[in-house]
């Protein structure tokens, strides 16, 4: 029952709906109680030979009116109750989604995608059942049970009621034992479902790689092992759950046996009429629903409690980068980077150290270096994916910690190497950051990204639907669409994280030329392995093992003859060999 208290915030918010629904419950239960009494009265009139046609039709009319009233009230309480439970699911999914969008990358490194999906779908559905069917079974069962026992005790026979209810305490004790087993079983089953969901998501996302390596059979075996564990966990839950109904039927059977035996003796002693005994047995039959409702309620509560705990675990996980900034607008695109030392939270050796840079608005900074040198880490600090006391980074003289996350992310447009496209049209993908952009604006930035001609060759043009993750496009097309998407934002700072690796040198020069023309007063950061992308940059930084080993422009670095000059010579030789000249 603790889950009902944990959901108290929502019940208070929706108290009108729940109060009206409960009043409808009570109305239905009270109205239903008249039917056994009417049948008992008819039987007593038959036994006494006093039943007239007029009296019989009056009883029939009363039953018809009761049926109509119950129909109307059942309709309205279902609408009220289940609308409220569906709204709870929507509210919790919004909270969970909003919370996850504010999490730093470390959160997603620690939580698997399939597990997050399971908590946002399966677990929330379990909590939704608690707020809907759980409230129904709890309130309706309680009201019905109290009314039936009160009527049997006060209006018929307290002695017969006492005898008939003797088996019920044993059933309640048995249910408590089963409830503890159900809670542990449901939690395990939901965790196994998360594993299954995660494996399915990974397999579908990597299906091309699985086929390329001929790993279909091995992946099938891995998936089946996880599916078997999930099935076993659910079977254990089902085995525990299946013990409820036999206990209820044994209790009901024992209660009816005691009722008939004790009731027959009371009728023989003229302390009870045959009509009253008939009404009593019918009322006793009404107690079957509260017992089933109680068993179903325990099932729902244990499932919902396990699910709610998993959801709250996510919602209570604080972001490693809290949104504490108060500055909402960035007026300048100057960037100052002063990093004495930075280490990842779970790392030992520093990932970056002794990096000090000043980039003025309108300048282009090239960041190069061997794989693992720390280029992406430096950008992640600028985007405030991580915080460290040894790092001071400012945009427009404002420390990134003082900027709200929305202001910071709005001021920086990022094009990653692995461009992510959504299952939507090309136009919708480009306009993701500005949904209200016109087709002319979309085409203008596509032309700057040298992708407009490619799009025009598609039969549907900009309305061409992109498959999941852009599977229908080439790597270069995806990168150029991502560049167009970033340019449409017209952000003060643009970051190209090896975003030109899949295009040829001529296309690369074309795109970079367009960028210099349209971003003359804005800052651009280019991370790359092909150094031709940064030859025109005002500043170039060479990183190695997290340290800044070279700094200058293209001519200055060539004159030093260091790593940059050596890589320029190597890449020129590589292009010469590839061209066959």
CATH assignment of the domain containing 438: 3.40.50.300
Whether pLDDT at 550 is above 80:
yes
- 367 plus 225 within the same structural domain: no
Q: What is the pLDDT of residues 4-55, one digit of tens each?
A: 888 888 888 888 888 888 888 788 877 877 777 777 777 777 777 777 788 8
- The DSSP code for 205 is H
Q: Is 58 among the domain residues?
A: yes
- 288 plus 365 within the same structural domain: no
- Average pLDDT of the chain to the nearest whole number: 83
Instruction: Give which of 455, 494, 490, 472 is closest to 421, Cα–Cα.
Output: 472
Instruction: Give which of 381, 265, 362, 409 is closest to 320, Cα–Cα.
Output: 381
Residues 526/494, Cβ–Cβ less than 8 Å: no
Whether pLDDT at 491 is above 70:
yes
Strand arrangement, sheet containing 364-368: 398-399, 391-395, 335-342, 352-359, 547-552, 539-544, 364-368, 523-527, 493-497, 412-415
Q: Is 174 among the domain residues?
A: yes
User: What local confidence, expressed as pLDDT, does residue 469 receive?
Assistant: 64
User: What local confidence, expressed as pLDDT, does residue 242 receive?
Assistant: 77
User: What local confidence, expressed as pLDDT, does residue 1 receive?
Assistant: 67
Q: What is the 3-state secondary structure (H, E, C) of 258-296?
A: HHHHHHHHHHHCCCCCHHHHHHHHHHHHHCHHHHHHHHH
- 398 plus 260 within the same structural domain: no
d(CA 127, CA 186): 13
CB neighbourhood size of 190 (10 A): 24
- 469 plus 409 within the same structural domain: yes
Domain CATH code at residue 161: 1.20.1560.10
- 269 plus 400 within the same structural domain: no
Domain that holds residue 51: 2-315
Work out the average pLDDT over 434-443.
90
d(CA 237, CA 123): 16
CB neighbour list of residue 96: distance below 8 Å, 6 or more residues apart: 119, 120, 124, 311, 314, 315
Q: Is 528 among the domain residues?
A: yes
What per-residue string of b and e applies to 18-31 under the rule 16 or more CB within 10 Å gives b?
A: bebbbebbbbbbeb
- 268 plus 376 within the same structural domain: no
- 76 plus 156 within the same structural domain: yes
- 280 plus 354 within the same structural domain: no
Q: Is 329 among the domain residues?
A: no
Q: Name the least confident of 265-269, 429-433, 460-464.
A: 265-269
Work out the average pLDDT over 234-259.
79
What per-residue string of b and e applies to 426-445 under the rule 16 or more CB within 10 Å gives b?
A: bbbbbbbeeeebeeeebbbb
d(CA 432, CA 486): 9
Work out the average pLDDT over 145-157.
80
Residues 449/476, Cβ–Cβ less than 8 Å: no
Q: Is 325 among the domain residues?
A: no
- 306 plus 342 within the same structural domain: no
- Higher pLDDT among residues 176 and 78, named by residue: 78
Q: Is 344 among the domain residues?
A: yes
Final residue of a structural domain among 261, 286, 315: 315
* Structure tokens that stand for 159 in this block: 């002695």
Residues 456/442, Cβ–Cβ less than 8 Å: no
Share of the chain above pLDDT 90, in %: 10
- 121 plus 65 within the same structural domain: yes
d(CA 232, CA 53): 62
Write phi, then psi, for 255 (nearest 5 degrees).
-65, -45
- 291 plus 414 within the same structural domain: no
User: What local confidence, expressed as pLDDT, does residue 541 receive?
Assistant: 92
d(CA 486, CA 182): 51
Strands 364-368 and 539-544: parallel
Work out the average pLDDT over 111-137.
82
Query: Of 162-176, 322-336, 436-450, 470-484, which has the strongest mean pLDDT?
Result: 436-450
Q: Is 562 among the domain residues?
A: yes
Q: What is the pLDDT of residues 383-425, one digit of tens each?
A: 888 888 878 889 888 888 888 888 888 888 988 877 888 888 8
Could you tell me where the beta strands, DSSP code E, fall in 480-558?
493-497, 523-527, 539-544, 547-552
Q: How many domains does the chain have?
A: 2
d(CA 467, CA 422): 7
Q: What is the CA radius of gyration of the chain?
A: 36
- 285 plus 361 within the same structural domain: no
Structure-derived torsion over alpha carbons of residues 11, 16, 18, 20, reported in degrees to the nearest 10: 170
Q: Name the least confident of 129-143, 499-513, 540-554.
A: 129-143
Residue 433, CA distances (Å) to 294, 409, 410, 427, 486 in order: 51, 11, 9, 11, 8
Write phi, then psi, for 544 (nearest 5 degrees).
-150, 120
């Amino acid at each position: 029952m603790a889950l009902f208290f944990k959901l108290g915030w929502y019940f208070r918010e929706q108290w009108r709906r729940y109060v009206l629904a409960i009043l409808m419950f009570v109305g239905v239960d009270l109205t239903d109680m008249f039917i056994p009494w009417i049948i008992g009265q008819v039987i007593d009139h038959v036994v006494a030979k006093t039943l007239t046609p007029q009296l019989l039709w009056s009883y029939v009319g009363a039953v018809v009116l009761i049926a109509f009233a119950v129909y109307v009230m059942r309709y309205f309480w279902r609408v009220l109750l289940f609308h409220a439970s569906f709204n709870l699911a929507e509210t919790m999914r919004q909270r969970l989604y909003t919370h996850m969008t504010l999490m730093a990358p470390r959160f997603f490194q620690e939580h698997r995608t399939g597990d997050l999906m399971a908590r946002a779908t399966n677990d929330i559905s379990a909590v939704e059942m608690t707020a809907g069917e759980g409230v129904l079974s709890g309130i309706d069962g309680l009201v019905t049970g109290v009314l039936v026992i009160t009527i049997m005790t006060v209006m018929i026979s307290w002695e017969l009621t006492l005898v008939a209810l003797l088996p019920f305490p044993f059933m309640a004790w048995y249910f408590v034992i089963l409830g503890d087993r159900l809670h542990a079983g449901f939690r395990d089953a939901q965790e196994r479902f998360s594993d299954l969901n995660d494996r399915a998501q990974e397999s579908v996302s990597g299906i091309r790689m699985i086929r390329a390596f001929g790993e279909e059979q091995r992946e099938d075996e891995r998936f089946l092992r996880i599916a078997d564990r999930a099935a076993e966990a659910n079977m254990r839950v089902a085995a525990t759950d299946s013990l409820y109904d036999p206990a209820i039927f044994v209790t009901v059977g024992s209660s009816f046996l005691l009722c008939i035996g004790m009731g027959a003796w009371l009728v023989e002693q003229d302390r009870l009429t045959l009509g009253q005994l008939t009404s009593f047995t019918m009322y006793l039959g009404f107690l079957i629903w509260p017992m089933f409702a109680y068993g179903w309620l325990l099932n729902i509560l244990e499932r919902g409690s396990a699910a709610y705990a998993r959801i709250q675990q996510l919602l209570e996980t604080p972001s490693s980068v809290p949104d504490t900034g108060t500055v909402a607008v960035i007026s300048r695109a100057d960037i100052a980077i002063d990093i004495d030392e930075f280490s990842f939270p779970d790392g030992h050796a520093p990932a970056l150290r002794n990096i000090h840079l000043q980039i003025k608005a309108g300048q282009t900074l090239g960041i190069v270096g061997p794989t693992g040198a720390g280029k992406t880490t430096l950008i992640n600090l600028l985007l405030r994916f991580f915080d460290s006391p040894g790092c001071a980074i400012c945009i427009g003289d404002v420390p990134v910690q003082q900027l709200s996350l929305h202001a910071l992310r709005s001021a920086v447009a990022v094009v990653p190497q692995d461009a992510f496209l959504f299952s939507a049209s090309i136009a919708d993908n480009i306009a993701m950051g500005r949904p209200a952009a016109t087709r002319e604006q979309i085409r203008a930035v596509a032309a700057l990204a040298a992708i407009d001609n490619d799009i025009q060759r598609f039969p549907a043009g900009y309305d061409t639907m992109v498959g999941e993750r852009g599977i229908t496009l080439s790597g270069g097309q995806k990168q150029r669409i991502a560049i167009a998407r970033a340019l449409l934002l017209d952000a003060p700072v643009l970051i190209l994280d090896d975003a030109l690796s899949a295009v040829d040198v001529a296309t690369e020069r074309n795109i970079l030329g367009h960028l210099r023309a349209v971003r003359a007063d804005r800052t651009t950061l280019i991370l790359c392995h092909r150094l031709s992308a940064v030859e025109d940059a005002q500043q170039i930084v060479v990183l190695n093992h997290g340290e800044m080993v070279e700094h200058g422009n293209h001519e200055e670095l060539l004159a030093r003859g260091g790593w940059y000059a050596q890589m320029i010579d190597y890449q020129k030789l590589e292009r010469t060999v590839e061209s066959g000249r």
